[in-house]
Every structure is written in C-alpha cells, then in structure tokens.
Structure 1
Amino acid sequence: MNFLSLNVRGVGEVGKTSWVRRLKVKHKATFVGLQETQLSSSSSIDVDGCWDSIEFDYASVDANGRSGGLISICDTSVFQSFHVIKNRHYLVVCGKYKNPSASVIMNIVNVYGPQSISEKKKVWLELLNIINGRPGTWVVFGDFNAVRDPGARSNSQFCPYSASDFNRFIHEANLKDYNMGGERFTYMSRVDAKLSKLDRFLTCPNYLQLFPFSYVTAHPRDLSDHSPITLLSGESDFGPIPFKFFNLWLLKEGFDKVVSDAWNCFRGFGTPDAYLAAKLRFLKDKIKLWRKDSDQKEREEVTVIWDAVKDLEKVAQSRPLSVDELQCWSDGIKKITECDRLKALDLKQKARIKWTMDGDENSKFFHGYINSKNRTSLLHGLMINGRWTTGVNEIKEEVYRFFHDKFMDAHLVRPKFCNPNFKSISMMDAIRIESPFTPEEVKAAVWDCGCEKVLGYH
C-alpha cells in the first residue's frame, strides 16, 4: 500500500484539488489523507477531483468554521473499509487490506493535532486507548503539531513537555517512526520562516513485517506551507543482488558433488585472472540451480511428511498406533525438527547476530532483525546537488562518482625508489627465515623466556 499525507490548508481553494490528484497519480497512492480541509461540510469537497478513478471510498470530519477538517480517501480495489471512528482531531478508518496472499485487518489513522499542550495529551490518550483496544495493523499519520526533539525545529521554540507527551504516546502504542528522506522540515511558516517537522508516519511492527522495504519521503512544498509526505511500500530495483554463500549448504547432501563437478567440468580460455573469474561465475550459476531444485524438493518432502504425521495423529485418536506407525510418526517429527533447525541457521546468518542462548530459534525476532537491516541498508533516495533524487540510474551514478573520487589516486606520477647497492641476505638465510619453527626451537624459546622471568631479567 502507498500512502499520501498532506496538510492542504483549504482543499476548496483554486488548484488544490488538482494538486492532490497529481500527487496521488505521481506517487501511485492507494490511501490519501488530508488535514485542514477548512470546509464545514464534507459535501463541499470535490472528492472526485482528488482521485483518478471511480474505485474509491472516503470518510471525513467537518471543519469547525475555518479550522481543522479531515478527509481520508482509499482505493476500494486495494482497501475495503468497514468501520470509522470520528473525532475533531483524528479520523480512524478500519478495514481490510486485500493482500494477494490473504486479507489483513488494517487500521489507518489520519491525525490533525491541536495546538494546546493539554489538548494534545488528551488526544494521545484517546488514540492510545483505541490502538490498544482494537486488533490489526496500525498506520498513524498526519500533522501532529508536535515534534520529538529540538532538532526538529529551526527558528522556533521547542516545548519539552509537548515532546515528552508525544514520545510517550509513540512508545506506549508501540509505534515506529521512519527516517524521513527528502525535505528535513515538513512545515515552513510563510510569515516568519519558522521551520518544524510536524508531519510524519508512524506504524506498528506488524506493518514493518508486511512491508519490510517501506520508506517515507517529504516532498517539496507547493500550494501549502506543509510538505506532502508519502509512505511507499515498493522496493527500488537496483539489479541483481550479490551472491551470498550460506553455511547451511555445507550440511546438505549433494552440495560437495555439485561443487566438484562444476569445478572439474569447466572449460574456458583467456588470461589467468579472466579464466578464474569465468570459472567462479560458472560455479555460482551451478550452485544457484542446485539451491533452487534442493529447496523445492525439500518443501515438497516436508509437506508430504507433515500430511503423514497429521494422518497418524488423527488415527491415534481412535486407536493405538502400531510399532511401525509409531516409528513412522517419530521419524517424521525428527525430520521436520531438523528442517526447522536448518532454517534457523539460515536466519541466524542473514541477521548476522549471535543467539543469546544456544538453541534459541526465535524466528520472528530474526525476521524482524533482517527486515530492519534491509530497510536501513537500502537507498531509497539521495540528495544530489540540493535535490532529493529517487531515480535508480541517478543514484547509481552518484554512488559511483563518490567512491571513484574517494579512491582515485591523487598522484599520477610517483617517484621510483631503486638502489642496487642495498645489502641483501643470502638465499639460504631467506629460506631459513621462512621455514616453520621446529618443536625443539619452540621449547627452547619458551624455556629461555621462563628462565628470564624467574631470574628477574627483562
């Protein structure tokens, strides 16, 4: 799912509706949340003008005069809402995200925070009760009118009490804040140029598991003093990932034969370094094919074993199992346990952390750690010449240029150091230096060192 959040500062003004639509189309948003619509009746909002198709549904909160107002618009082909909770400062839409594999209960909160510190604290407590009282995946976004630390403000006053209440709400609701790309501040006052990071996306760990490569970007301000911000779940395609070798393969039957056969049957030509590189590529391709076939056979085998174990367990409910049946059931359980153990070894190496206790196989923990590392390692965008760039080719070129300049030899012509009059050792002395130590030499060195310590020599 792709989200777009914008404090539009009056959706009824000239050009605002078409601006929202352009942003929706550009970022392929399937859920759009607007704050400060400034319309006291939702019937006055041109929702059709904000969308580019007829497949949409929306919920809204009317403004109080020219203050506030919320609207959330969703693509019904992706998200189907079934319950709405309305408040002056937040709009909760509960529904089902139509995942290709299975439907997921998702609760999406569009927030426009109040100005008063006491009112903010009240809103955070209400939202916390709602989040703790309803199951499902949570996405909370909007203009919170609050910052988390002094670095989120520039040329404006920081309130530690408001920040403390806001941080406490995020912690107690178990929400995660994203590192935002693009603009550093999402709000800029057009009167006195005060800058603040008031807009953000907060998600629960379930959302991070569902969309491990999601990222948030603050885009340039246009018709509002707030930046449009997006939460996109897609992954940029930077080409094939590097080949990685897993220790688990060494424990699988047939791996040694695949490596030896590929190494011995390779035929190539060229210089030694080119020949070796081609041979390693050939070996890598053979290992990839073996891994694909091996994983498929293993999944099919585990499925068959699971079915047999379940059938025997059903039989055991009506009569005692025979000796052969008990042995078959026991062997199946052992095989499934061994497969789970090997999968846990894979997770351990992917996460690149050690188990806190030998035998711990908390796969959910390792999956979360892997997804977290993937999110922080991916480049979703770079600031190039003062402009936030998300294009894959532009990012590749900038990364290449950076490291090319970093490691380029500054001295193209170096002085040569050559003197034939340097003294050198004989060939026999060189061989003696490189020869391994004998046990007698080691014992003599240890004995001499021990005697020196006993006698007080240094």
Structure 2
Amino acid sequence: MNCLSLNIRGIGEEYKVSWVRRLTMKYRTMFLGVQETQISDENPIDVSGCWYNGEFGFAATPSTRRSGGLLSIWDSKLFQVDEVIKARDGFEQLIKDLWKKFKGYNNPDAYLPAKFQFLKNEIKKWRAKDHPKKMDELAKLKHRVHELDIAAETKMLSDLELQERRLDVQRITELEKLVVLDLKQKARIRWIIDGDENSRFSMAIKDEVLSFYQKKFQEKLPSKPKLISSDFCMLDAVTRSKIESPFIMVEIKQAIWACGGYKAPSPDGFTFEFIKNIGTY
C-alpha cells in the first residue's frame, strides 16, 4: 500500500496541482495527505486534478487566512469512510447561532434540557428544508452522470466533460454518505428508545432476578440495634464537607471530556462529541 504525504505550501497554482498528480501517478498512490494547502472555503481545491484516476474520495479542511489547510485523497475502491467528522454546509454556524439565541429557565436543572430540546426542534426545522435540497441535487447529479455515460458510448468525452463527471461522482458519493449517516443515526436512536427483542428479553430476565433477590434479602426486623462507640475511626469535618459539596465546573468538564465522543448520555441523540464542541462556543 502506497501512501504519500506532502507539505506543499499552497496548492492554488496549476503547476503544483499537476506536480501532485504526476507524483500520485508515478508511485501509484492509494492515499494522499497534503498539508499547508493555504486554500480557504472561498477558493476551492482542484481535487480531481491532483488524482490520477476517477475513483477517489476526499476530505478537506480550509486554511485560516494563508495558514494551514489539509487535504486527504484516497482510492475509493480500497478505503471506505465510516464516519464523516465534518459539518454540513452552514450547520456549525446554525448551532452557534441557536446556542446563543436560546432564552430559557433560570434553574440549571431545567435550563439545559430545555436548551437541548430547543436545539433539537430547530435542527428538525433546518433539516426539513435542507434535506429536500440535497435529495434534489443528488437526483440532478445522477441524471447528469447518466447523460455523460450515454454520450460516452457514442463519442469520446472532452477533458471538461471527464472532469465534470469526476466531480459529479465525487459529490454523489458525499451526498449518499450523508444519507447513510442519517439512517444510521435514526436507527441508533430508535434502538436506544425501543430496544430490540434480545434486549427486551434480557431486561425481563434482569427484572426476575432482581425481584427474586429483593424478596430473599428483604429486611424482616423493623429496627436494628445501633452501633455507638467513640472508638470508631471518623472523617474530620473538612473531609466530610468535601464529600457532600456540590460538583464544581472543572470536575463536570473533566467527566464529560473523559467520555467517548460517540456515546450519548440520553436518547435525544446529542453525543458527547457534540457537547464537547458546543462547550467551546
């Protein structure tokens, strides 16, 4: 397996794109990692120009002004993306705006659940508008690729048409992966709420076992003799106060940050990775 890593210090020039393509072709690269692309969202990278065949996937992180920027390209026949750790267009800004917009209760125990419920409702509204657009785009791209494939049966496609097809196929792959991720998330939440037949059967067994031992160890005496002695070791007042003191923000943050990113504390679908991200807003 051939992997190639480059620190290119800017990939906006055409000669650098051609140079990267020649390298990937020469070494039959299966995975390419490019650092310092120095390309922002406003200046897209010619990804297809960097790769030597049409079967590829990619992910890019924009630069901050003229610093940074990452690009990963891989052979889609050899690699499969399991998770997309990247926000959809406008989604991250939407969350930031909603997080600041919410006005709720003063009680912290009620405030945070209400805030998450507000986010959930607004995300549903956003998705109701965004999802049909993505599906419409997907249908149009598939139709266009089909037209190009039909045309290729009777003539040689031009370089522009070949590049258009490569980019369309890449975009189709991205949109279809988003659809799959949506289905996975819905299935995960549904399983948490409803469970499956095996988990329900296991819960029934646990309930029976719990009931058996509760009856077995049920206290028959209404009162027991108390053990009172000055010889028992006791905690001092300061230590006792620490045990009973409420959790501080540092302790809460440490507990959350120590949790796995893709585990959810409740069936609402908000994972710890989501909570960690909004903690920086």
Q: Highest CA radius of gyration, 1 or 2?
A: 1
Shorter-chain TM-score range? 0.3 to 0.5
From the two aligned structures, give the one with the greater helix fraction: 2
TM-score, normalising length: structure 2 = 0.37
Relative contact order (C-alpha < 8 Å, sep 6+): which is higher?
A: 2
TM-score, normalising length: structure 1 = 0.24
